[in-house]
């Protein structure tokens, strides 16, 4: 087990190294002037780009440049973000909590709803319930996230006027911005900070703004989970050990809850990595459409404005999150399936 | 001898995409109290379907279409029809009065649950009331299970009367109250350790904490047997229990079954394709072909003086210790049961087939004493009933 | 003498491959979702082929450029002249939707074709031969794998410059990793199958083994995935267009049409759904197009499920 | 003097087990741990043993399907110098013209036939590798081979799934003999088949061996089958060969205690009434760490001190009978004394 984790951590370093080379290689197609932006940390510096080009050798061979860049990254200097108008490392803490908040609410819902629906439609295969969830899943799978989000906005914001885009209502946002001493941003997530600062109205308002984004995120991600859980359940229910349990005198509920479900979770864990990737992609679309200033919004905005340092840093960060979550998934795998020995 | 279990005109079909597989066609069989009965036949002849139909554990797309399965647990009592019972009553019979061992010990054990839990489950399903009474007595005798002991005592006494009560199920969802059955589970686990030890497995305390993949094939098969024997069944059904095991392990298991037979179980229904196993362990035998029973009777009688052409051919097609000359084989192959042959299902391959055989399905008739055969030819040869 | 004697007479006339094909088709179309999927896709194929007749291009040399009457940003409702109305910038929605069908097919076929070809070739070679090539390729896939499709595709588009061609290239450059993984795992399973070993024993060359034994038995998961990908690639491409990384303004592309409609999803207070047509027509096209491919893929998966395969 | 076709000397097949941070080799599964065996032309050598004893590995290693990790496997062509085929690549063997001489029939005909190829192409494949024939000649040859295994022209244009298990195994045999081999490894060729079909295949194999002058290595766990078809038997236990001798001799006069246990454990389909058997305790040890000394000592009912220390060599006791046991002189008497068994025939 320890050997396995150590190996995975080494692997993490390797992957991050690979990602950095990949991304650096891709973006080295830009002119030295553009690339200089990756080293700028203040607006003042931006004025003497030629100096930076010289200092970092942006006209030198690519491996020299890469070395210099990695050196900077290691020191925490990720460059200047045009979109955020501040250094990338600082802007990161501004945007990350918003995305985290969205996924903190969406992920548990995805897991609970997906596993429950999948189990039920697998157990009661070919029932009305099964057919309707299957149809819902395939339609949900076919709905582009951004389009679905737009439709929700059209109905719930435009027509019903229940939920609106953004993170907070403009009055509250203005108040928060103007009173930094009265509202401390402990976590950066308004729904939690509101409670911590004794302002439940802010929490409620933030939650209100979260309803549609979370709904979109859940519907788009849950389809995959449900499908895998369903087919896992169908497969497990036809295994011999189910008959053994039945021959022991087990009732139907014990059979599927106690015996089949845990086995059916094993294939679910193999697609957990895909679920993480789906959530990341979903966050981009959700944030763009609902105008929530999170990582996804930042990335999309940076892409359209060719804000290179952000793209590089976000790719590295996403790679890090992805590899770490895969490590956690593998450990979970070993926990659910005793046959797996991590060696 | 009194009859323990009778299957009458049992018919089971499988509704597949390719068509309706008529796996069992008016299958008839009866097993006596205290008898070891061997059911032999080639793969796909419906041996497993038979016993699974009897216990009603057929999986979709299989459907039991008709017939009766009469079961009288005590000799001389009125039999009950297992096919008429409600699912809940059936759950009470499975694993308690009738239990089953499966072919593939790898597949028959749940890979993600501990051995101990899987054995203990049998007790939890059938002995919760008994164990609860025992624990209530213990509590009254001064044994304590922590602060909530009086509350648990009350719940356990409910469990002692009706172990499947809705009230208890509801309680099992409430955080503190759900722990009422911990002593019962512990007791079940103790009994699991007991029975595993009795089956000749060294240090059972350690084995119960393991998972199936840690054990060898022979050990797994013993665990499967332990599960089946947990509640002292009246009838033990062993479905190809030794077929996938090696010769030396098979010898161990057969000996174990033999010993158990003497001690605790009343009857065994042994299903196998290995004629040798039947010859060595069974008293009576039934020979199956394509979903029907062709011949049944005492093993010595059937094996030394077979009347059905299929049994005769089968016996000459297996290699023996004293093999003389070439092995004889049966021409052709087992029919596709979506389109079963008309009349006697063996007639297309039968060397003795007569005109009548393709038209009329032969009835099972007692042609010699205790020796039943379903064959027009044999009937004509032997000349009517005894 | 054997089970199929009754069928001999019937089967004797047709070629066995034809018989197999018929059997497979029957199995696929037993599933109603396959029927719906194929109907939807035939409709889109019809529209794509008949595009010049349904919506005659205004500029013969650049048919993908949507014609527009005026520059007013406010969309106009359906009228006799513009059956589906006009969207922001007065682009004809019907024209965009019809020619956008061609764009969608172009994106799907090019991305899936390229990614599938590259992925299958690399995956088969890596899986069959193993060794250092496999090791290097799989480590490279690990690296590419750790960045989600959308993020990596965005970065590539930024690096290569915006435009529909670059979106297609970017998606193909990312998506091949899936095909490598899927086909490689199939090949690894097949490599130790007894019929492959038997072929080796007979001295059949590796090339022939791959072509005769490995590929025909491992291609089905790729077909299923290809079908599903046709849809999901169009989704991703339309999102990239929606964000503004796609074709230049005025190009007939569903994603861009949704982007044009974006500011009009909420109308004035007295009639909030006034501009429904701007998002409805391109939106429904994307959804039905993707749904068609997904239904087909789903039916293929059921039909080729090895557990349901007859013995 | 019988002519050898294969001579195995210390043939080994170890499968590495990796572990640790850098996945270094930490141990190996000794599936085949040095066996010496001579196989003579025209015989059918039965290899018996329990699952995991390395009998299938032996079959795959002698024809170099899975390259052995140690030892030599000498192949004696009909006329010419012997060649060590252990460690040769398939291409080298093909060049030397021996690849097609050594063939194999697998256990399960459902997995050993490509489900997407017609029978015609399955049987034609090995022929095409050897000679260039016109389409018509090729078809005629395929038909003649199919007829040898009891199939006919009408089966040419069918897929494997359209056949029954027994017929599929016939096709697999046809494919093997289409390569015009001298030596065929039969890996449990009947254990996936029905009892009534098993006899057909056994008889077919036996007559083919005589007609085509083939040599078989028949791998099985079923002792009565091997008794029926083999001329000589090798008993294996945990990667080692522990006893070899002519078939009748083995059943009359087994010398190794493990052979005794195997033979006494066979369920006899003839109703005899007497069925005393040697029931071995415990399980087969792991091939990862086989026991020191005699590998069987952990389960042997007659184990003495020397068995734990020293590994017995396979020694010839005359009459083509070899055994690896320290107590081979007294085993028969011990068995009769303790279990009351004398002979199995």
Cβ contacts of residue B51 below 8 Å, gap of 6+? Answer: B39, B100, B237, B239, B269, B271
Residue B67 to residue C62: CA distance in whole angstroms: 76
Average pLDDT score over chain A? 85
Q: Is residue A174 situated within a structural domain?
A: yes
Residue A289 to residue C266: CA distance in whole angstroms: 13
The stretch C83-99 carries a mean pLDDT of: 82
| In a shared domain, residues A112 and A184 | yes
User: Which chain A residue lies closest to D25 (C-alpha atoms)?
Assistant: A343
Task: Tell me the chain C residues in contact with residue A138 when contact means C-beta distances shorter than 8 Å.
Answer: 33, 291, 294-295, 298
A82-86, B264-268, C77-81, D110-114, range with greatest mean pLDDT: D110-114
* C-alpha dihedral (D24, D29, D35, D40), degrees to nearest 10: -110
D22 touches chain A (CB under 8 A): yes
Instruction: Select from C156, C244, C266 the Cβ nearest to the Cβ of A157.
Output: C266
Quote the pLDDT of residue A25.
85
Stated length of chain C? 311
Q: Beta-carbon neighbour count of residue C114 at 10 Å?
A: 17
The stretch D229-249 carries a mean pLDDT of: 93
Q: Is residue C22 within a helix (H) or strand (E), and if so which, with residue range?
A: helix C16-29
Instruction: Select from B276, B319, B329 the Cβ nearest to the Cβ of D267.
Output: B276
Interface of C with B in 3-32 (CB under 8 A): 3, 6, 30
DSSP symbol at A153 = I
C306 pLDDT tier (thresholds 50, 70, 90) = low
Quote the pLDDT of residue C10.
46
Quote the pLDDT of residue A121.
92
Instruction: Select from C8, C20, C202 the Cβ nearest to the Cβ of D100.
Output: C202
DSSP symbol at A38 = G
Q: Domain residues for D266? A: 256-345
Residue bearing tokens 């497990």: A236
Residue B156 to residue B159: CA distance in whole angstroms: 5
Domain count, chain D: 1
Q: Is residue A259 situated within a structural domain?
A: yes
Quote the pLDDT of residue C288.
94
Q: Is pLDDT at B89 greater than 70 in this prediction?
A: yes
Q: Is pLDDT at B266 greater than 80 in this prediction?
A: no
User: pLDDT tens digits, residue range A106-153?
Assistant: 999 999 999 999 999 999 988 899 999 988 888 888 888 999 999 888
User: pLDDT tens digits, residue range A244-283?
Assistant: 999 998 888 889 988 999 899 998 988 888 899 999 999 9
Instruction: Select from C1, C3, C30 the Cβ nearest to the Cβ of B336.
Output: C3
Judge whether D106 and D112 are in contact, CB under 8 Å. Answer: yes
D197 touches chain C (CB under 8 A): no
Give the residue extent of every domain in chain B: 3-112+211-282, 115-191, 288-382
Report residue C203 as tokens: 């001295």
User: pLDDT tens digits, residue range D241-289?
Assistant: 999 999 999 988 899 999 999 988 888 888 765 667 888 887 888 888 8
Residue A95 to residue A188: CA distance in whole angstroms: 9
* Percentage of chain B lying above the pLDDT 70 cut: 98
Q: Domain residues for A41? A: 31-77
Higher pLDDT, B222 or A48: B222
* Percentage of chain C lying above the pLDDT 90 cut: 46
Query: Å from B38 to nearest chain C CA?
Result: 28
Judge whether B298 and B53 are in contact, CB under 8 Å. Answer: no
Task: Tell me the chain A residues in contact with residue B88 when contact means C-beta distances shorter than 8 Å.
Answer: 251
Judge whether C39 and C62 are in contact, CB under 8 Å. Answer: no
Query: Å from D3 to nearest chain C CA?
Result: 24
Residue D28 to residue D13: CA distance in whole angstroms: 10
Task: Tell me the chain A residues in contact with residue D23 when contact means C-beta distances shorter than 8 Å.
Answer: 7
Lowest model confidence (mean pLDDT) among B142-146, C249-253, C292-296, D308-312? B142-146
| In a shared domain, residues A63 and A161 | no
User: Which chain A residue lies closest to D18 (C-alpha atoms)?
Assistant: A343
DSSP symbol at B81 = E
The angle formed by the CA atoms of residues D278, D281 and D282, to the nearest 5 degrees, is 145
ipTM field: 0.85
Report residue C258 as tokens: 């949704």
Burial label, D2 (beta-carbon count in 10 A; 0-12, 13-18, 19+):
exposed
User: pLDDT tens digits, residue range A6-46?
Assistant: 888 888 889 888 988 888 888 777 777 666 766 666 667 66
B27 touches chain A (CB under 8 A): no
Range A42-46, long-range pairs (CB < 8 A, 24+ positions): A42/A80, A42/A87, A43/A80, A45/A80, A46/A80
Closest CA to A190 of A181, A201, A162: A201
The DSSP string of A85-125 is TEEHHHHHHHHHHHHHHHHHHHHHHHHHHHHHHHHHHHHTT
Residue B235 to residue B222: CA distance in whole angstroms: 17
DSSP symbol at D67 = -
Give the architecture (CATH level 2) of C24-309. Answer: Orthogonal Bundle (1.10)
Report the sign of the C-alpha dihedral through residues C9, C13, C17, C22, in that order: negative
Quote the pLDDT of residue B142.
80
B256-270, B323-337, C106-120, range with greatest mean pLDDT: C106-120
Higher pLDDT, B216 or D145: D145
- How far from chain centre, in Å, is Cα B332? 30
Judge whether A98 and A294 are in contact, CB under 8 Å. Answer: yes
Phi and psi based region of residue A223 (left: phi greater than 0; alpha: psi -120 to 50; beta: remaining): alpha
Interface of B with D in 92-151 (CB under 8 A): none
D269 touches chain C (CB under 8 A): no
Report the sign of the C-alpha dihedral through residues C215, C221, C224, C225, in that order: negative
Quote the pLDDT of residue C264.
81
Q: Is residue A10 situated within a structural domain?
A: no
B320 touches chain D (CB under 8 A): yes
Report residue D12 as tokens: 């080994």
Residue bearing tokens 């899927």: C182
Residue B118 to residue B227: CA distance in whole angstroms: 7
Q: How far is CA A245 from CA A106, B99, D86, D102, in A?
A: 36, 11, 49, 48
Residue C50 to residue C43: CA distance in whole angstroms: 10
Quote the pLDDT of residue C274.
77
Query: Å from A228 to nearest chain B CA?
Result: 19
Interface of D with B in 24-43 (CB under 8 A): none
Domain count, chain A: 2
- What CATH number should be reported for the domain whose range is B3-112+211-282? 3.40.50.300
C242 touches chain A (CB under 8 A): yes
Helix crossing, A145-152 with C220-243: angle to 10°?
Answer: 50
Quote the pLDDT of residue D274.
60
Higher pLDDT, B175 or B211: B211
Task: Tell me the chain B residues in contact with residue D257 when contact means C-beta distances shorter than 8 Å.
Answer: none
The DSSP string of B172-204 is TTSTTGGGGGHHHHHHHHHHHHHHHHHTT-S-H
C311 pLDDT tier (thresholds 50, 70, 90) = very low
Q: Is residue A196 situated within a structural domain?
A: yes
Lowest model confidence (mean pLDDT) among B270-284, C77-91, D224-238? C77-91
The DSSP string of A185-241 is -SSS-HHHHHHHTT-HHHHHHHHHHHHHHHHHHHHHHHHHHHHHHHHHHHHHHTSHH
User: pLDDT tens digits, residue range C21-71?
Assistant: 888 888 888 888 899 999 999 999 999 998 888 888 777 777 888 777 777
Judge whether D102 and C201 are in contact, CB under 8 Å. Answer: yes
Give the residue extent of every domain in chain C: 24-309
pTM for the model = 0.87
Q: Is residue A254 situated within a structural domain?
A: yes
Q: Is residue A210 situated within a structural domain?
A: yes
Judge whether B319 and D195 are in contact, CB under 8 Å. Answer: no
Judge whether B37 and B303 are in contact, CB under 8 Å. Answer: no
The stretch B36-47 carries a mean pLDDT of: 88
Q: What is the CATH number of the domain that holds A260?
A: 1.10.3720
Q: Is pLDDT at C215 greater than 60 in this prediction?
A: yes
Average pLDDT score over chain D? 89
User: pLDDT tens digits, residue range A169-201?
Assistant: 888 888 888 887 888 888 888 888 888 888 888
Average pLDDT score over chain C? 85
> Of the candidates A77, A112, A139, which is a domain's last residue?
A77
Task: Tell me the chain B residues in contact with residue C2 when contact means C-beta distances shorter than 8 Å.
Answer: 332-333
Residue B212 to residue B114: CA distance in whole angstroms: 7
């Amino acid at each position: 087990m320890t050997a396995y984790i150590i190996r995975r951590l080494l692997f993490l370093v390797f992957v991050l190294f690979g990602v950095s080379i990949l991304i650096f290689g891709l973006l080295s197609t830009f002119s030295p002037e553009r690339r200089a932006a990756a080293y700028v940390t203040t607006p003042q510096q931006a004025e003497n780009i030629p100096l930076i080009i010289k200092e970092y050798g942006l006209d030198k061979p690519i491996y020299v440049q890469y070395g210099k860049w990695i050196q900077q990254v290691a020191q925490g200097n990720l460059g200047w973000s045009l979109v955020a108008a501040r250094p990338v490392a600082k802007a990161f803490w501004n945007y990350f909590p918003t995305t985290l908040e969205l996924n903190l609410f969406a992920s548990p819902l995805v897991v609970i709803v997906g596993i429950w629906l999948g189990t039920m439609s697998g157990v009661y295969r070919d029932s009305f319930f099964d057919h309707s969830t299957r149809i819902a899943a395939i339609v949900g799978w076919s709905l582009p996230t951004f389009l679905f989000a737009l439709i929700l906005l059209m109905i719930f914001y435009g027509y019903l006027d229940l939920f609106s885009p953004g993170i907070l209502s403009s009055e509250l946002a203005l108040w928060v911005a103007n009173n930094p001493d009265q509202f401390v941003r402990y976590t950066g997530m308004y729904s939690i900070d509101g409670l911590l600062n004794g302002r439940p109205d802010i929490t409620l308002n933030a939650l209100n703004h979260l309803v549609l984004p979370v709904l979109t995120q859940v519907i788009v991600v849950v389809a995959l989970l449900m499908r895998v859980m369903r087919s896992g359940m169908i497969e497990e229910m036809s295994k011999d050990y189910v008959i053994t349990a039945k021959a022991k005198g087990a009732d139907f509920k014990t059979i599927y809850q106690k015996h089949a479900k845990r086995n059916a979770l094993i294939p679910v864990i193999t697609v957990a990595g895909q679920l993480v990737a789906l959530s990341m992609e979903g966050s981009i679309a959700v944030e763009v459409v609902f105008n929530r200033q999170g990582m996804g919004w930042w990335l999309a905005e940076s892409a359209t404005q060719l804000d290179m340092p952000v793209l590089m840093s976000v790719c590295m960060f996403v790679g890090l999150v992805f590899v770490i979550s895969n490590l956690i998934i593998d450990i979970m795998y070993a926990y659910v399936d005793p046959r797996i020995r991590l060696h | 001898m009194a009859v323990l279990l009778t299957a009458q005109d049992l018919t089971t079909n499988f509704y597949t995409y390719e068509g309706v597989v008529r796996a069992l066609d008016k299958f008839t069989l009866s097993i006596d109290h205290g008898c070891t009965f061997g059911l032999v036949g080639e793969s796909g002849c419906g041996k497993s379907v038979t016993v699974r139909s009897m216990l009603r554990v057929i999986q979709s797309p299989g459907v039991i279409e008709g017939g009766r399965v009469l079961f009288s647990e005590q000799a001389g009592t009125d039999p009950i029809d297992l096919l008429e019972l409600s699912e809940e009553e059936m759950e009470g019979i499975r694993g308690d009065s009738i239990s089953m061992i499966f072919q593939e010990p790898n597949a028959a054990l749940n890979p993600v649950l501990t051995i101990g839990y899987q054995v203990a489950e049998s007790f939890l399903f059938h002995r919760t009331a008994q164990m609860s009474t025992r624990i209530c007595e213990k509590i009254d005798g001064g044994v304590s299970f922590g602060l909530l002991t009086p509350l648990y005592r009350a719940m356990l006494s409910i469990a002692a009367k009706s172990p499947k009560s809705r009230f208890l199920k509801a309680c099992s969802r409430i955080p503190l109250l759900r722990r009422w059955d911990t002593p019962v589970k512990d007791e079940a686990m103790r009994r699991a350790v007991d029975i595993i030890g009795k089956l000749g497995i060294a240090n059972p305390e350690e084995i119960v904490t393991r998972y199936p993949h840690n054990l060898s094939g022979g050990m797994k098969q013993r665990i499967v047997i332990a599960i089946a024997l947990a509640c002292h069944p009246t009838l033990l059904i062993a479905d190809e229990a030794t077929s996938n095991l090696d010769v030396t392990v098979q010898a161990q298991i057969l000996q174990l079954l033999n010993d158990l037979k003497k001690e605790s179980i009343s009857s065994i229904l042994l299903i196998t394709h290995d004629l040798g196993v039947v010859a060595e362990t069974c008293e009576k035998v039934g020979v199956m072909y394509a979903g029907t029973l062709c011949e049944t009777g005492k093993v010595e009688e059937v094996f030394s003086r077979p009347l059905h052409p299929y049994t005769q051919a089968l016996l000459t097609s297996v290699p023996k210790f004293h093999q003389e000359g070439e092995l004889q084989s049966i021409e052709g192959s087992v029919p596709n049961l979506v389109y079963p042959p008309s009349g006697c299902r063996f007639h297309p391959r039968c060397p003795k087939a007569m005109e009548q055989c393709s038209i009329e399905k032969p009835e099972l008739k007692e042609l010699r004493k205790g020796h039943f055969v379903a064959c027009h030819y044999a009937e004509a040869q032997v000349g009517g009933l005894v | 003498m054997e089970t199929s004697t009754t069928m001999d007479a019937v089967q004797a006339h047709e070629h066995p491959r034809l018989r197999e094909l018929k059997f497979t088709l029957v199995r696929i179309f037993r599933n109603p979702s396959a029927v719906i999927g194929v109907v939807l896709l035939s409709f889109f194929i019809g529209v794509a082929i008949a595009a010049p007749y349904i919506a005659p291009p205004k500029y013969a040399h650049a048919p993908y450029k949507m014609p527009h009457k005026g520059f007013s940003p406010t969309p106009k409702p359906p009228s006799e002249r513009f059956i589906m109305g006009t969207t922001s910038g007065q682009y004809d929605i019907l024209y965009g939707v019809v020619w956008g069908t061609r764009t969608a097919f172009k994106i799907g076929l090019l991305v899936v074709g390229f990614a599938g070809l590259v992925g299958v070739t690399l995956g088969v070679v890596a899986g069959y031969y193993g060794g250092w090539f496999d090791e290097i390729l799989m480590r490279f896939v690990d690296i590419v794998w750790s960045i989600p499709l959308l993020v990596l595709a965005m970065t590539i588009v930024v690096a290569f410059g915006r435009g529909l061609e670059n979106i297609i290239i970017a998606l193909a450059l990312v998506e091949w990793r899936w095909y490598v993984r899927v086909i490689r795992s199939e090949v690894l399973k097949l490599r130790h199958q007894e019929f492959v070993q038997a072929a080796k024993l007979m001295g059949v060359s590796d090339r022939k083994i791959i072509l005769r034994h490995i590929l025909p038995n491992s291609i089905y998961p790729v077909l299923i995935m290809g079908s599903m990908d046709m849809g999901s690639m169009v989704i991703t491409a339309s999102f990239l267009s929606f964000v503004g990384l796609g074709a230049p303004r005025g190009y007939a592309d569903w994603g861009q049409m949704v982007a044009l409609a974006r500011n009009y999803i909420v109308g004035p207070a007295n009639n909030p759904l006034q501009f429904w047509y701007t998002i409805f027509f391109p939106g429904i096209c994307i959804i039905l197009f993707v749904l068609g491919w997904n239904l087909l893929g789903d039916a293929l998966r059921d039909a080729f499920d090895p557990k349901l395969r007859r013995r | 003097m019988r002519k050898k076709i294969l001579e195995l000397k210390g043939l080994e097949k170890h499968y590495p087990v990796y572990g640790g941070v850098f996945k270094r080799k930490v141990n190996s599964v000794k599936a085949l741990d040095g066996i010496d065996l001579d196989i003579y032309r025209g015989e059918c050598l039965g290899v018996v043993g329990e699952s995991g004893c390395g009998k299938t590995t032996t079959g795959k290693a002698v024809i170099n399907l899975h390259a052995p990790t140690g030892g030599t496997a000498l192949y004696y062509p009909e006329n010419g110098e012997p060649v060590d085929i252990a460690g040769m690549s398939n291409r080298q063997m093909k060049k030397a013209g021996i690849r097609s001489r050594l063939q194999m029939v697998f256990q399960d005909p459902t997995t050993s036939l490509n489900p997407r190829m017609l029978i015609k192409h399955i049987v034609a494949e090995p022929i095409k590798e050897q000679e260039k024939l016109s389409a018509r000649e090729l078809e005629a040859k395929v038909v003649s081979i199919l007829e040898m295994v009891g199939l006919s022209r009408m089966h040419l244009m069918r897929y494997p799934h359209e056949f029954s298990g027994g017929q599929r195994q016939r096709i697999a045999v046809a494919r093997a003999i289409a390569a015009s081999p001298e030596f065929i490894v039969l890996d449990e060729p009947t254990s996936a088949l029905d009892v009534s079909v098993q006899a057909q295949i056994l008889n077919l194999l036996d007559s083919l061996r005589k007609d085509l002058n083939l040599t078989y290595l028949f791998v099985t766990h079923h002792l009565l089958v091997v008794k029926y078809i083999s001329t000589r038997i090798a008993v294996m236990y945990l990667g080692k060969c522990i006893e070899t001798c002519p078939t009748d001799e083995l059943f009359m006069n087994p010398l190794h205690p493990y052979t005794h246990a195997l033979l006494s454990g066979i369920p006899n389909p003839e109703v005899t009434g007497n069925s005393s058997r040697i029931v071995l305790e415990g399980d087969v040890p792991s091939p990862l760490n086989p026991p020191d000394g005699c590998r069987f000592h952990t389960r042997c009912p007659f184990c003495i001190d020397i068995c734990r220390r020293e590994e017995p060599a396979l020694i010839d006791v005359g009459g083509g009978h070899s055994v690896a046991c320290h107590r081979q002189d007294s085993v028969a008497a011990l068995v009769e004394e303790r279990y009351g068994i004398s002979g199995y025939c």
